[in-house]
């Protein structure tokens, strides 16, 4: 395994800790573990210095510049792309507008350089794999490359249906602007229904200030508590546009339906009327209408049916699909 930065203490007794992990020179720079994102301009150089001799296949997993590695001649390179670099491509203006004055000055020339480098390196990838059809379209838009689609896995067996049912809705994830947690908070402020928000991020304090007493922001929670909240909620609220979205799968693996904005990866994971429902506009009013409709029809959502539906996204399926693709590509070399 090769990566820019490796915090060994965070992966004790995990699968990753059983592998040899090689880091780039980024790991030796000041505050690398906490501030690695600040070293983005150096990452292309760091990736190109990795020595990948001795391997039959190279797989890069990225939503950034990881595909910039240089495999030995004749060795295939599969890029599992979770998203082309958001900060350089489709969300460039949003990231720029949120940045401080110094970063706003630096971003235009830096991102111009990164876009050119990113496009150039896309030509060196043997085969792209996207985590959703939504991402596959963006790969074609920015790189003009076709991509296979292999959906990421959910740890199906980690989640269970609960016999206890709570009186709350749940929003779970990183609290950053594009995930639009503000829509959910404002919608539940108006309705008075109970919403529990789990997660950290730049919007936490802002959401805390505007939340009414019926909206609880719990911050980061341990995994066991997250599993309990998922299994006991009325439904998961998912108002953002995600490239794929693992959290809805975890809710469905817990037997709970998902109320999602009708765009992005949710269209590939939520089966309307079976495992959840959609709202059409990214607004608090549209979300409120969907929640009212859900409450009128929630007796139609059966935990066992929802859990059975999401089984097709489990880890066994993911490993099989990826191995079949890798074997096919290797057979051509």
Torsion of CA 4, 9, 15, 20, to 10 degrees: 50
pLDDT at 10: 86
pLDDT at 296: 93
Below-50 pLDDT ranges, the chain: none
3-state secondary structure at position 282: coil
Burial class (CB in 10 A: 0-12, 13-18, 19+), 191: middle
Taken in order 207, 266, 300, 311, the sign of the CA dihedral is negative
pLDDT in tens, 130-153: 999 999 999 999 999 999 999 999
pLDDT at 14: 85
3-state secondary structure 302-333: CHHHHHHHHHHHEHHHHHHHHHHHHHHHHHCC
pLDDT at 322: 95
């Amino acid at each position: 395994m090769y990566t820019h930065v490796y915090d060994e203490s965070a992966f004790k007794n995990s699968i990753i800790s059983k592998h040899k992990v090689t880091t780039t020179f980024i790991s030796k720079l000041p505050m690398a573990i906490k501030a690695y994102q600040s070293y983005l301009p150096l990452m292309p150089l760091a990736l190109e210095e990795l020595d990948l001799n001795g391997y039959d296949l190279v797989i890069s997993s990225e939503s950034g510049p990881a595909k910039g590695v240089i495999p030995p001649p004749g060795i295939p390179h599969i890029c599992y792309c979770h998203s082309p670099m958001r900060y350089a491509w489709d969300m460039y203006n949003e990231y720029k507008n949120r940045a401080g004055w110094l970063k706003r000055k630096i971003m235009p020339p830096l991102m111009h350089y990164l876009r050119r480098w990113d496009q150039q390196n896309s030509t060196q990838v043997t085969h792209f794999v996207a985590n959703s059809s939504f991402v596959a379209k963006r790969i074609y838009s920015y790189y003009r490359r076709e991509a296979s689609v292999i959906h990421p896995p959910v740890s199906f067996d980690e989640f269970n249906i609960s016999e206890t049912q709570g009186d709350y809705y749940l929003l779970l994830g990183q609290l950053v602007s594009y995930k639009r947690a503000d829509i959910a908070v404002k919608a539940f402020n108006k309705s008075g229904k109970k919403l529990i928000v789990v997660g950290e991020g730049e919007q936490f304090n802002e959401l805390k200030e505007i939340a009414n007493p019926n909206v609880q922001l719990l911050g980061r929670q341990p995994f066991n508590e997250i599993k309990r909240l998922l299994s006991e909620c009325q439904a998961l609220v998912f108002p953002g546009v995600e490239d794929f979205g693992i959290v809805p799968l975890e809710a469905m693996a817990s037997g709970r339906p998902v109320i999602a904005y009708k765009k992005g990866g949710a269209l590939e994971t939520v089966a309307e009327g079976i495992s959840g429902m959609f709202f059409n506009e990214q607004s608090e009013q549209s979300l409120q209408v969907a929640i009212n409709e859900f409450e009128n029809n929630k007796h139609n959502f059966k935990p066992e049916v929802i859990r059975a539906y999401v089984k097709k996204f489990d880890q066994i399926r993911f490993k099989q699909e990826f191995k079949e693709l890798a074997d096919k590509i290797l057979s051509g070399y």
